[in-house]
Chain A
């Protein structure tokens, strides 16, 4: 029973979605009970959420309070619908379109004017990142999102 409680207590919360605001991150923080680590850079804050199964999600929040990027790593892909929020359908359509361009098993690379999503890995280990290019703080390069 203790193990079950621990999983619930330290599991991933409902994440703030890409494009969401700081309020949802703070709501996450209330539910995290110590598994959230926040680091502050010059023009943004990183909220790192560590789950019980080894999954990690990092939310990048601008000084204006908007989630402009998310990055993740874990044994299986995260709930992309929750993580990408209003960008999920755009992601899904682009992913399906790309899989029909050229057959083959390879990392996913979606590069559109309003959305970049990059996913790689294999069963037991997936990682990726998504960001809104025109909302990246001017001092932040895409490579900083890991």
Chain B
């Protein structure tokens, strides 16, 4: 689509401030005076561009989450279904669709003995459980053939205790808040080499199982890299080395729109430009964030699928544990804060951010919040608010990119 119809929406600091409560009156439309928010360009058309909406999602109550539409087809056919309300998640890799949202019958992936392969993928907020099936996947004008995806269902197969012990199931619209998750994170597979063999040490979790029948007990299996649930972007024929999430600056709004752009430096509309590259640990997908004098090198990451800034603070007031915002911060006045990110490549940069009262924010009809924060004891989770007002590049491990060796984030 090089050179084809293409136009840009330019959001300058001044324009962003027109919708922002906290902006000073002296902001001009020129970006040259800004030291904190350089001009952001959001590309809105192109064969490699899919719209993202931050609008509460298909359950109508999901704050700070971006949704896109994804088309899945029976492999090699034109029997297809477009599914909207799919959560765009840079914190995981792989496409997962609710069984209840899927009207197609997709081919089941089977283990070498013929038994169906079923996956339990833990997330912090609960696990997804369901069979691994194969689909052709399309989004924007990009296509990937015969992609292993996960179909989320509590009822097709009986989840083993090792899975249900992970907390709550996220296999329904009510629990997931989305019709699916498209994981466009740092890796080509959801698990990687860890899952190629069955882990036998006590306490080690196994995501992949084979299940002889809907009721028989499932057994952990090793799953080859190619058979694991795949980041569909890595399987596109072009624009396959990563994505860009482009969302405008926002204070609080009922909804905002942006773009999910495929490829980094592969088209005229996805150049890395002057974005700084922060490489991630190739095993864990973390970098290091220093906040309030403490470095968190073990569990700091950028994740559009987390719905706030989550970080440790002993000084910011938490919302009550019995409130409707447990785990979020509820300061009486908005806190202006900063933290410093450092990549494994040594790149370092400071990020300014703000945290407002979550209960107050949730008590509106808005779903896009730039200042939503919450607690996390062991690291810094840069959730969706981080993406507002800056384009964030996510480069996939093993792919060639203009920014050097992936995995990395750039912004």
Binding site for B on A (CB under 8 A): 7-8, 10-15, 51-55, 57, 73, 75-83, 88, 92, 95-96, 98-109, 111-112, 118-129, 143, 146
Contacts and interface: CB of A to CB of B under 8 A. Distances in A.
Contact of A79 (B123, B203, B301, B378): B203
21 contacts: A12-B201, A52-B201, A53-B201, A79-B205, A96-B167, A101-B326, A103-B62, A104-B63, A106-B381, A107-B124, A107-B376, A108-B327, A120-B376, A122-B92, A122-B124, A123-B92, A123-B183, A123-B191, A125-B285, A125-B286, A146-B378
A73 to B, nearest CB: 6
Contact of A124 (B203, B283, B324): B283
A79 B126 CA distance: 14
Interface residues of B, number: 69
Nearest to A143: B314
B62 A104 contact: yes
B175 interface: yes
B338 to A, nearest CB: 20
Contacts of B312: 143
Contacts of B65: 104-105
Given A105-B123, A105-B125, A119-B124, A79 B324 contact: no
A124 B325 contact: no
Contacts of B175: 99-100, 103
A77 B166 CA distance: 8
Contact of A120 (B204, B299, B307, B314): B299
B201 A123 contact: no
A82 B175 CA distance: 26
Contacts of A88: 165
B167 A125 contact: no
Contacts of B377: 107, 118, 120, 128-129
B326 A98 contact: yes
Residue in B93, B166, B299 with the greatest tally of chain A CB atoms within 10 Å: B299
B126 A99 contact: yes
B91 interface: yes
Contact of A118 (B64, B89, B204, B376): B376
B202 interface: yes
B150 to A, nearest CB: 12
B308 interface: yes
B101 to A, nearest CB: 16
Interface in B174-204: 175, 177, 183, 185, 187, 190-192, 194, 199-204
Contact of B200 (A8, A100, A104): A8
Given A101-B326, A121-B299, A92 B165 contact: yes
A118 to B, nearest CB: 4
A10 B200 CA distance: 11
**Considering the complex of A and B, which 9 residue pairs feature the smallest CB-CB distances, nearest first?**
A11-B201, A76-B205, A109-B327, A125-B284, A103-B177, A12-B203, A122-B91, A118-B377, A104-B307
B201 A103 contact: no
